[in-house]
Amino acid sequence: MFELKVTSEFASAHNLRYYDGNCENLHGHNWQVFLYVRGETLQPKTEMLVDFKVLKHELRAIMKHLDHTYLNELAPFDQVNPTSENLARYIFQQMSQALLDHAIDNAYVYKVEVYETPTASASYMETP
């Protein structure tokens, strides 16, 4: 089994709905995102699982969409609480679709980890 990891970051504001505490108020984070991709076979010609360039490009596109926004006004977070858990799931789903769009069938998004502070993170993963 091979595993790749790329990281990115974005800054945004949000407030948590139905939360009894300070995080119910508007506040911001400098989010760190860790993307893990796994697969058992390398691409025949390149002998790579997935080109890092593709992973970085697609992850940056998602970060650009989230960067310097008020998450509560951005779909799906206008309906779904913009928690770290939901951000991890959103990025996971977006990156999974990006791999499909690139016709990458030898690898899958294994996990997305989102840090809202250096000491607090949430992860999302699915069974491939």
Domains, the chain: 2-124 (3.30.479.10)
- Out of 27, 57, 65, 68, pick the active-site residue: 68
Q: Catalytic residue at 3?
A: no
Q: What is the pTM of this model?
A: 0.95
Q: Catalytic residue at 65?
A: no
3-state SS, the chain, equals: CEEEEEEEEEEEEECCCCCCCHHHCCEEEEEEEEEEEEECCCCCCCCCCCCHHHHHHHHHHHHHHHCCCEHHHCCCCCCCCCCHHHHHHHHHHHHHHHHHHCCCCCCEEEEEEEEEECCEEEEECCCC
pLDDT digits (tens, 9 = 90+) for 18-57: 999 999 999 999 999 999 999 999 999 999 999 999 999 9
Q: Catalytic residue at 23?
A: yes
Extract the tokens encoding 108. 């899958």
pLDDT digits (tens, 9 = 90+) for 83-108: 999 999 999 999 999 999 999 999 99
